């Protein structure tokens, strides 16, 4: 089989492997998923452990900084936060999709975090989140987060030596 035929067969096989029913979310689903993300982060930012936990499925996983963290590990982060921790989040959603009883969103999240011991700092991530509908409620099963580090700027014309 020549390369062109091989690539063509691969593309067709890949398209055939896509799950049936993958589609962009309807406007009502889109709004519900976006609100669910905002509510989850609001509970996290407020340090409201019971409310935050209520958004997570039993098999929830967080993929962050090259680690796979389960629900209990994620909840343990609340114990590490300094007293007086505050964080505000804003979201730039790029896509929301639905596949049967599963939904996902891709978005940028920008946060300003502070506590009484450190000045406010601005944080940025690209994230994807997956939900599974259970008893009529969207529960988070996965968050994959990638920190966005601002590029280093070089000052031109300065003597570094």
Task: Single out the residue of 64, 78, 60, 44 nearest to residue 139, CA to CA.
Answer: 60
Residue numbers of the domain that contains 91: 21-147
Quote the tokens at residue 62: 């967080």
> What is the chain's pLDDT, residue by residue, as a tens digit (161 residues)?
544 443 333 433 443 444 556 678 888 899 999 999 999 999 999 889 999 999 999 999 999 999 999 999 999 988 888 888 889 999 999 999 999 999 999 999 999 999 888 899 999 999 999 999 999 999 999 999 999 987 776 666 655 55
In a domain, 3, yes or no: no
Token pair 């519900």 is at which residue?
A: 32
Quote the tokens at residue 73: 């590990």
Q: Identify the pLDDT of residue 82.
A: 84
Token pair 């089989």 is at which residue?
A: 1
Task: Single out the residue of 124, 132, 76 nearest to residue 103, CA to CA.
Answer: 132
CATH number at residue 41: 3.10.450.50
In a domain, 34, yes or no: yes
In a domain, 57, yes or no: yes
Q: Identify the pLDDT of residue 12.
A: 38
In a domain, 1, yes or no: no
Please count the structural domains in the chain.
Answer: 1
**Cα–Cα distance between 9 and 71 in angstroms, integer?**
41
């Amino acid at each position: 089989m020549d390369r062109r035929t091989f690539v063509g067969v691969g593309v067709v096989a890949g398209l055939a492997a896509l799950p049936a029913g993958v589609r962009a979310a309807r406007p009502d689903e889109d709004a519900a998923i976006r609100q669910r993300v905002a509510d989850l982060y609001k509970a996290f930012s407020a340090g409201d452990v019971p409310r935050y936990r209520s958004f997570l499925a039993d098999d929830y996983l967080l993929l962050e900084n090259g680690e796979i963290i389960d629900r209990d590990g994620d909840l343990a982060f609340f114990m590490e936060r300094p007293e007086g921790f505050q964080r505000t989040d804003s979201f730039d959603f790029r896509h929301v999709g639905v596949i049967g009883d599963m939904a996902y969103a891709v978005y940028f999240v920008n946060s300003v975090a502070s506590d009484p011991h450190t000045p406010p700092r601005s944080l940025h991530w690209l994230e994807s989140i997956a939900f599974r509908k259970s008893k009529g409620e969207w529960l988070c099963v996965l968050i994959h987060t990638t920190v966005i580090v601002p590029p280093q700027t070089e000052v031109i014309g300065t003597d570094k030596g």
